[in-house]
Amino acid sequence: MYKTFVKPVLFQFDAEAAHYAAFQALPLLTRPVVGAAVRASLGIDWAACHAPHLARRVMGLVFANPVGLAAGFDKDARFVAEWAAVGFGHVEIGTLTPRPQPGNDKPRMFRLPADRGLINRLGFNNGGAEVAALRLQKRPAGLIVGGNIGKNKDTPNDEAANDYLRGFDALADVVDYIAVNVSSPNTPGLRALQDREPLQRLLGQLQARNQRRRTPLPLALKLAPDLSDEQLRDAAALVVEAGFAGVIATNTTIARDGLRTPAAVVERFGAGGLSGAPLTARALAVTQLLRAALPAEVALIGVGGVMSAQDALDRLAAGADLVQLYTGFVYEGPGLVTQICRAI
C-alpha cells in the first residue's frame, strides 16, 4: 500500500511538508481495531519484529530488535508510541538543542528520486530539549529511546560544551542513552568539534557529568562520513579514552559524487547533507573501519544508506550491533522494519 498509494501522493508535495503531513496519520497505527488493519496494509508485522531471537543487549541495554529510527525523523519526540507500533527496537529523538530554534530558511529538504536520496539543511529545527523531555515522561514501555543532543546555532564553538551539558541534563532522566551530534553539516562550524582537541574536551566533560549520576547512561558519538580514515581512527580512540559506550556511523555527507540527478538540479538545491542510497557504500566502509578500530565492548550503530533488508544485513555483517533508518523509511515505507527483522 505504501509504495502504491501513499508514497506517490506524498512525493507530489514539498519534501518537508510531506514529512509533517504524514505525521498526522501516524496516530492511526495505535488506534483500537483500525490500527491493526492500517499496520497490516503497510506491511507492518509487530510480532515478527519482537521474536525472541531478535533481542540484542547493546550498551548494557536490551533492544527488542536491532532496527531503530534515526535521529532527525522525530526531532521533538511527538510520536514515540507510534514508532513502537511500527516495530522499531529503538528510536533516537532529536537532534535537540537547549533552546528552541526554527532551523534554516525554507525550502530546506529536497528529494533525489533518481538516486533514492535526500538533501536536507534543516539546521536542528526543534522545540528545545526540555519540551521534548516533558513528552518523554509518558513514553511507552519496552522501547529503547535515545536522546540526540547538539548545540544552538548562535552558540560559539568555544561555549558549545555548555549547550551539550544542558541538553544532557534535560534528557538524562527520560532517555536510555545519549547520542552526541557533532557531525551535522547544517550548523555552521559544528563539524569543527570533531577535531581532536575540542572533541576530547567535549567528550570528557560530558562523561564527567554523566558519572555524577547514580546510574550513568550509555553515551554514543555520532560521526560524519566525510572524515578521513585517520580522523575516524582518532575519533574512535577518543571514544575509548572517554569511556563512551558506542559510536553512530554515519551522519549525512556533503559529497555529491556519482549522482544520477542532473548536476544543475543538485546545484539548485544547494547546500545540505545528502542521505540515502548515495551514502550506502561510504557508510558501510566507515562501519568496517570503525569496527576494526574499536574494542568489541564499544557498540557500533550503523546508519546512512540502509535502504533495504540486504543493506541492513551488510551493515550488521560489517560489525554494526544495531542499524537505523531515515531515508530508507521515506522511500520504502514502514514495512521496511518488518522486512529487515524477517531477514535477520
Task: Just list the catalytic residues.
Answer: 184
Which residues, 6 or more positions from 293, have their beta carbon under 8 angstroms from its beta carbon? 232, 233, 236, 237
H helical segments located in the chain: 7-10, 15-23, 34-41, 80-86, 129-136, 160-171, 196-210, 229-242, 263-269, 280-293, 309-317, 327-332, 335-343
- The one-character DSSP state at 141 is T
What is the rounded CA–CA span in Å between residue 279 and residue 306? 9
Establish how many alpha carbons lie within 13 A of residue 219's alpha carbon, considering only the half-sphere containing its beta carbon: 29
Place of cell 531503530: 68
Beta-strand relationship, 67-69 and 109-112: unpaired
How far is 332 from 43, CA to CA, in rounded Å?
A: 11
Q: Which 3 state secondary structure label does DSSP give 237?
A: helix
> At 85, which amino acid appears?
A
- In whole angstroms, what is the distance from residue 11 CA to residue 5 CA? 11
Identify the CA nearest to 290 among candidates 218, 201, 200, 225.
225
Question: In whole angstroms, what is the distance from residue 253 CA to residue 122 CA?
Answer: 14
